């Protein structure tokens, strides 16, 4: 089998301290990976969530995210989205303005707004809106 290489980054969300907060693995270029490979990689990462970034199918979105736990794909989760957009901003994969940049992210349940806050060309905060929760019986 052909060997392929994919870069990934680990971000600590909800903290300013290294090794604190909630970790998430982010694969910023996941195009070409199969569903089985995505799940195998998430299992190997063994974090609560691993995010794979794809080209969006919605023209308004900056990126399409697929989020996996070690055992399954999930439709949406908060801290993985925040960590992913921090990584994408750090890698300069999204164009940022000083102050607040408003973007959209696409996930398995739709397209939702993201705000990336910058001060002196550094990302200082990522804020997202999320859908209303659904309570299952």
Tokens of 33: 């990976």
| Fold designation for 9-128 | Diaminopimelate Epimerase; Chain A, domain 1 (3.10.310)
Tell me if 107 sits within 8 A of 76, measured CB to CB: yes
Active-site hit among 29, 49, 115, 134: 49
Residue with tokens 């736990």: 69
Q: For the beta carbon of residue 27, count every other beta carbon within 10 angstroms.
A: 23
Q: How far apart are CA 88 and CA 82, in angstroms?
A: 10
Residue with tokens 């303005």: 97
Q: How far apart are CA 71 and CA 18, in angstroms?
A: 27
Q: What is the mean pLDDT of residues 2-20?
A: 91
pLDDT category of residue 118 using cuts at 50, 70 and 90: very high
- 106 is annotated as an active-site residue: no
Tell me if 9 sits within 8 A of 87, measured CB to CB: yes
Q: Is 116 exposed, middle or buried (0-12, 13-18, 19+ CB in 10 A)?
A: buried
Q: Is it the case that residue 3 has pLDDT exceeding 90?
A: no
Q: How far apart are CA 61 and CA 50, in angstroms?
A: 20
| pTM for this model (two decimals) | 0.92
Locate the domains of the chain by residue range: 9-128
Q: What is the mean pLDDT of residues 59-73?
A: 97
Confidence (pLDDT) at 126: 94
Confidence (pLDDT) at 121: 84
Tell me if 15 sits within 8 A of 43, measured CB to CB: no
Across the chain, which distance is largest between two alpha carbons, in Å?
48
Confidence (pLDDT) at 133: 73
């Amino acid at each position: 089998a052909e060997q392929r290489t994919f870069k990934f980054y680990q971000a600590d969300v909800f903290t300013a301290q290294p090794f604190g907060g909630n970790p998430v693995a982010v694969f910023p270029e996941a195009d070409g990976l199969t569903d089985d490979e995505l799940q195998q990689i998430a299992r190997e990462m063994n974090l609560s969530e691993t995010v794979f970034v794809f080209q969006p199918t919605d023209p308004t979105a900056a990126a399409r995210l697929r989020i996996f736990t070690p055992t399954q794909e999930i439709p949406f989760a908060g801290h993985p989205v925040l960590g992913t957009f921090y990584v994408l901003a750090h890698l300069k994969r999204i164009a940022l303005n000083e102050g607040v940049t408003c973007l959209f992210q696409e996930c398995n349940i739709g397209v939702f707004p993201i705000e990336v806050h910058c001060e002196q060309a550094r990302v200082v905060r990522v804020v997202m809106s999320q859908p209303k929760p659904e309570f299952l019986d």
